[in-house]
A and B are shown apart, each in its own frame.
Chain A
Amino acid sequence: MPEAVREMAARDMVGRAASGGGAAPLETLADVARETLAYFTESRLAEPPQALEAVGAFSTVKGLDTLLSAALGIEVTAAPQNTPMAHSAAAIDLNLLRGPDLPLFSDGAKEYRFQDNRLVGTELDERTQQRAKANAGGAKGGAKTNSKPPQKFFGLTLPQFGSGGSEITPAKLTAISLLGAGIIGFLAFDFAISPASARLARAGSDYDAAQSRIGALEAQLGKLRAAARQDAFTGDGADKILWAEKFAAIAAALPPSVWLTGANIAKPDRRIGDIEVVTTKLVLQGITRAKSDRRLQDIAQFIQSLEQEAAFMRDFRRIVFAGLGSPSGNDIAANGVAFEVHAWCDENKRKATRDSAPNGATALISTAAGTAATRAAVGARLSGQASDPALALPPIGARP
């Protein structure tokens, strides 16, 4: 302790005030007491007191009674230290709890009001209890402890809300929930969303690559289809004559009295104007053993039937009668009459049919289907199993 402070502490305050050594606290006290008594007697016209009773820490201050007695001109008496003052509540009935009809405090389950000179508790509903507990925890500063045991759930202590103290409050729970949601969101993004996004990006690039490859393949397929279509119409096999259908048509067109004795293909040179062209023709040689009045009629019927066969006429422009003669032996009555028919091949006729066909894969399919149907019909006719009796060939060896 500094020397100056120790000196001031040892100095008698009353003596300092009496010696006029400055405005001591006792001077203030004496002045206020003097002014109060003067106000009491002069302004309020009341009887002055005969004595001043000093209580509290009065006895601990040296010489205060003498100073006040001299300053006020009345006797100053000190009550014994630590002696409680007489309670005058019975005479002056003042109770500050009586005035307000408001709840003064609550213990969580009840709130207390001052009624009939005592504190009466009323039960609170559950929500009000929670709110009152929270308020009481804040107001009492933990003076009252929460006697409710903590709730257990599979050995874990559950947090209690609204009880104040260090327990988890709804605000804390909200903050913890937000923090937990943030962490979960981060983990979900880091472990699930981010890899999924990467996989999605890779899948997207793979899809784009596949799309471009599909486009390339489609382009190549289109080229192949075009090439196939071109080959089907202009290739080596495009202009081939299906002799099976021709023969089937010839067999169907032959009258019963007509026999074929020869068939060959001739390619004579021809001149059309100044241009020398090579043409192809089918030479059919046969014999008719019909009666004399029906021989030319059978030949004409044979030619007409051939001309009406679309399958036969697909590759031929026209059918002409080349000649009539006697077979070997010159016995016309016995051997019949020999004749020759020429069918002139026409390549342009097939091209015209091809140009009138639909383009693209549809045309290709139609053409292939038509060819297949034609081949099937010819096969059926050759095997004698044709569904149409008109197209069925007579069995081999059968005679008209």
Chain B
Amino acid sequence: MAQLAERLLGAPECGFDSAPYGRRIENEAERRLISACRLDLARAYLAALGDLSIRFTFIAPATVAWMAQPDAAETRAVLHIGIDRSLLVVSDAASGVVAQRHIRVGACICGLGVGHQLAPHAGSSSGNGCA
């Protein structure tokens, strides 16, 4: 699993974990949810916390919080609008299917008197694209 994470992320050191997700059917392999992150990124998070870093016990992807619970019967779809990008997570705990999309469109707070607008980022790599 470590090699898989390193190959997918292209990093020499990775943090990773897996958990079962989706009901298991007879004669079918267990479906597991695998998540990984670059370890240097995790270390940067810990270093930014200073002395509080030793109290850290948990790092999980935000997607997990927006996924359907394992015992949920319905499909769950969550759209998170960020500052410069958005995340769409659609999950079905019964079948264990999870679809996740990163959309380079985010809300940008441009200032007083201007209002809150949606900023395009698709195809643009410079700035927030506030209009």
Contact of B59 among A28, A96, A112 (CB under 8 A): A96
Residues of A within 8 A of B1 (CB): 99
A97 interface hit (Cβ, 8 Å): yes
Do residues A144 and B51 form an inter-chain contact, with CB atoms below 8 A?
A: yes
Residues of B within 8 Å of A93, CB to CB, are 17, 19
Interface residues of A in 179-203 (CB under 8 A from B): none
Q: Does A105 contact B (CB under 8 A)?
A: yes
Tell me the residues in window 140-189 of chain A with beta carbons closer than 8 Å to chain B beta carbons.
Answer: 140-141, 143-144
In chain A, positions 39-56 with a C-beta closer than 8 Å to chain B are 39-40, 44-56
What residues on B are CB-neighbors of A28 within 8 Å?
103, 105, 120, 122
CA distance A127 to B108 in the complex (A): 48
Q: A105 — nearest CB in chain B belongs to which residue?
A: B46
B101 surroundings in chain A (CB, below 8 A)? 32-33, 36
- CB contact between A100 and one of B13, B95, B121 (< 8 Å): that residue: B13
Q: Does A95 contact B (CB under 8 A)?
A: yes
| A96 x B61 contact (CB < 8 A) | yes
Whole-angstrom CA separation of A88 from B119 in the bound complex = 30
Which residue of chain B is the closest to A112 with respect to CB atoms? B54
Q: Which of A39, A55, A119, A136 contacts B54 (CB 8 A)?
A: A119
Most buried by A among B5, B55, B74, B117: B117
State the CA gap A89–B57 with chains docked (Å). 12
Chain B, Cβ-Cβ closest to A85? B65
- Whether A100 pairs with B103 at a CB distance below 8 angstroms is no
Chain B positions within 8 Å of A49 at CB level: 74-77, 90
Contact A96 B42 (CB under 8 A): yes
Chain B nearest CB: distance from A30 CB in Å?
10
**Are B19 and A136 interface neighbours, CB within 8 A?**
no
> How many of chain B's residues touch chain A, expressed as a range?
35 or more
Which of A36, A54, A62, A117 makes the CB contact (< 8 A) with B81?
A54
Binary interface encoding of chain A residues 76-115 relative to chain B, with 1 for a CB under 8 A from any of its CBs, else 0: 1000000001111101111111111010110100001000
Q: Is the CB of B37 within 8 A of A96?
A: yes
Cα–Cα distance between A105 and B15 once the two chains are bound (Å): 14
Contact across chains for A25 and B66 when beta carbons are under 8 A apart: no
Given contacts A53-B76, A91-B70, A105-B47, contact A40 B97 (CB under 8 A): yes
Q: How near does chain B come to A183, taking the closest CB pair, in angstroms?
A: 39
Q: Is B43 an interface residue (CB 8 A)?
A: yes
A89 and B60 form a contact (CB under 8 A): yes
Please give the distance in Å from B21's CB to the nearest CB on chain A: 7
**Which of A6-14, A218-226, A340-348, A391-399 forms contacts with chain B?**
A6-14
Chain B residues with CB below 8 A from A143, complex form = 47-50
A residues near B66, Cβ cutoff 8 Å:
53, 55, 85
For B36, what are the chain A residues with a Cβ–Cβ distance below 8 Å? 96, 99
A121 adjacent to chain B (CB < 8 Å): yes
Q: How many A-B residue pairs have CB under 8 A?
A: 227
Task: State the CA gap A44–B117 with chains docked (Å).
Answer: 34
Measured as residues with beta carbon below 8 angstroms from the partner, the interface class of chain A is 35 or more
CA distance A100 to B82 in the complex (A): 30
B66: nearest chain-A partner, CB-CB? A85
Q: Is the CB of B71 within 8 A of A33?
A: no
Residue B83 at the chain A interface, CB threshold 8 Å: yes
> A99 to B106, Cβ gap below 8 A?
no
Contact A47 B47 (CB under 8 A): no
Cα–Cα distance between A216 and B61 once the two chains are bound (Å): 103
Is B71 in contact with A9, judged by CB distance below 8 angstroms? no
Sample of 24 A–B contacts (CB below 8 Å): A24-B118, A25-B105, A32-B103, A44-B95, A52-B78, A53-B76, A53-B78, A54-B79, A57-B81, A61-B117, A89-B60, A89-B64, A89-B65, A92-B19, A92-B64, A93-B17, A95-B17, A96-B59, A99-B17, A100-B16, A105-B53, A119-B56, A119-B57, A139-B47
* A contact set with B: CB distance below 8 Å: 8-11, 13, 24-26, 28-29, 32-33, 36-37, 39-40, 44-58, 60-62, 64, 68, 74, 76, 85-89, 91-100, 102, 104-105, 107, 112, 117-119, 121, 136, 139-141, 143-144
Closest 10 CB pairs of A and B: A25-B120, A49-B77, A140-B47, A99-B16, A57-B107, A96-B15, A60-B116, A46-B97, A46-B92, A56-B81
Sample of 8 further A-B pairs with CB below 8 A, known A56-B81, A93-B19 = A25-B122, A40-B90, A54-B81, A56-B107, A97-B59, A99-B14, A140-B47, A141-B47
